[in-house]
Amino acid sequence: MVELGKITKPDIDNFKGKRKLYCVANVFSMEDAPDDYKEIIVKYWDEVAAQIDKIETAGKIKKIFSEIILDTSESSFEVLNKISEKLKNIVIQKLEDGAQLIPIEDRELLGALTDWSNCLRVIYTKEVFSKVFSFFNEVAEKRREHILNVITKNLFESEAGLLIMKDEDRVKLQFPTDIEIFLITPPSYDDIIRWFRNKMMKEGQ
């Protein structure tokens, strides 16, 4: 596994002929977020775009896999735009360069996961929470299996793909050993984590 941000340029010869997956942590831009958070998000996606350009020396992106994407219709780009307009622009640019957008979500699994997640937010008793959480975990595991299957079947030999997914979900995917994983971690990602940590500390006071 290679973490971009700790190296300046990948050694191309080490990855010739291998399947490559460039992984970007999906970070949502919230409409009602404070200005300082919005500034960090803009910086983050700008740095992601710059690091993608660097990492593509190991292989041009041929496939794009993004969570929450169900199809390749115009509505998918609206979803990307809700996450971040800059993310949408990154994807559009790669598509114009010849990449293909591959939907990785199953509509029923994503819907069920969303429903169970919403249920968890309104539970007050430990017993009920435990039961609902077990249902949530069961669906989450099925979703991860589906996503992993889509990626491994659609990323061909020597190809490079881009995966846009929350880190906490991505780390649970057990990729085949013939897929080389690159983690794109801009400096501003630490700023985002720090922002949320400070927010939770203030709310806990």
DSSP 13: G
Query: What phi, psi does 41 have (nearest 5°)?
Result: -65, -45
- Token pair, residue 163, equals 């995966």
> What's the whole-model pTM score?
0.90
For 110, other C-beta atoms within 10 Å of its C-beta total 18
Nearest to 51 by CA among 172, 148, 182: 182
Instruction: Give the burial class of 135: count Cβ atoms within 10 A of its Cβ; 0-12 exposed, 13-18 middle, 19 or more buried.
Output: middle
Total number of domains constituting the chain: 1
SS3 198: helix
The two most distant CA atoms of the chain are separated, in Å, by 56
Give residue 120's domain range. 2-203
**pLDDT tens per residue, the chain (205 residues)?**
666 554 445 566 667 778 999 999 999 877 788 888 989 999 999 999 999 999 999 999 999 999 999 999 988 999 999 899 999 999 999 999 999 999 999 999 999 999 999 999 999 999 999 999 999 999 999 999 999 999 999 999 999 999 999 999 999 999 999 999 999 999 999 999 999 898 887 776 5
Which positions ≥6 away from 18 have C-beta within 8 Å?
Answer: 158, 178, 179, 180
Helix H segments across the chain?
Answer: 35-55, 74-83, 85-96, 107-120, 126-154, 167-170, 187-203
